[in-house]
Structure 1
Amino acid sequence: MTPEQERDFEAAAFRRLLDHLSARSDVQNIDLMNLAGFCRNCLANWYREAAEEKGQPLSKDEARELIYRMPYAEWQALHQKEASPEQKIAFEQARPSDH
């Protein structure tokens, strides 16, 4: 496999992940964090960091809009629910040190 093919396949898999997360707006970020240790905001942060490493400035809001496929505030209004006490406890217990 060439480096270009690997990059293209990784990009296709990433786009499919974003499609999947968009289709599963019922899955809250706190659920993703509690189960997998990352969420949509993490993806946005990683995307922004990758862009900045290559000299492309990208704001937090711009990166989130790319991941959420709409402005973050709009996604929150449409899909985000208040975390339950149980979710909050699980988050604090499993919270990665970089969050």
Structure 2
Amino acid sequence: MDAATRTELEAAAFRRLVAHLRQRTDVQNIDMMNLAGFCRNCLSNWYLDAAQEKGVALDKEAAREIVYGMPYAEWKARYQTEATPEQVAAFKTSHTHE
């Protein structure tokens, strides 16, 4: 497989992941962190890092809007729930390096 095709396939997979996460507003970021070790915010940070590596002007809020499909504050107001004590405890156990 040539590099251009690989990049196209990776981009398509990324777009599908973002679309999936936009549809699954019931899945909380803390649950993603506890199960997979990353969340929507991580994905937007990785996007921002890639943009900066290429010299593309992008800020944190714009990167988050790309992933969330709306301003982050709006997503939080609509969909984010308060973390349960169990979720917080699981996060503390699984993310001792942060």
TM-score category by the smaller chain?
A: over 0.9
Query: What is the Cα-based RMSD across aligned positions, in Å?
Result: 0.9
**Count of residue pairs the alignment pairs up:** 98
Structure 2 counterpart of 1:74, one-letter code: E
Structure 2 counterpart of 1:62, one-letter code: A
Task: Write out per-residue CA displacement over residues 42-92 of structure 1, whole angstroms, 9 at most, x where no aligned residue.
Answer: 000000000000111211101000000100000001100000000000001
How high is the TM-score relative to the length of structure 2? Answer: 0.96
Judging changes above 3 Å, is the alpha-carbon distance between structure 1 residues 50 and 96 closer, same or farther for their aligned structure 2 residues?
farther
Determine the structure 2 residue equivalent to 1:38. 38
How high is the TM-score relative to the length of structure 1? Answer: 0.95
Structure 1 counterpart of 2:81, one-letter code: K
Whole-angstrom distance in 1 between the partners of 2:38 and 2:21: 12
- Match of 1:56, SS state, is coil
Determine the structure 1 residue equivalent to 2:10. 10
Whole-angstrom distance in 1 between the partners of 2:54 and 2:60: 16
Whole-angstrom distance in 2 between the partners of 1:38 and 1:19: 16
Q: Which moved more, 1:29-38 or 1:55-64?
A: 55-64
How much does 1:2 deviate? 1.1
Give ranges in structure 1 of 5+ residues lacking alignment: none
> Given that residues 37 and 96 in structure 1 are in contact (C-alpha distance below 8 angstroms), is that contact kept between their aligned partners in structure 2?
no
- Match of 2:89, SS state, is helix
Whole-angstrom distance in 2 between the partners of 1:18 and 1:54: 21
Q: Which aligned segments of 4 or more residues in structure 1 are displaced greater than 3 angstroms?
A: none
**Which aligned pairs between 1:72-83 and structure 2 lie closer than 5 A?**
72-83=72-83
- Percentage of identical aligned residues: 59
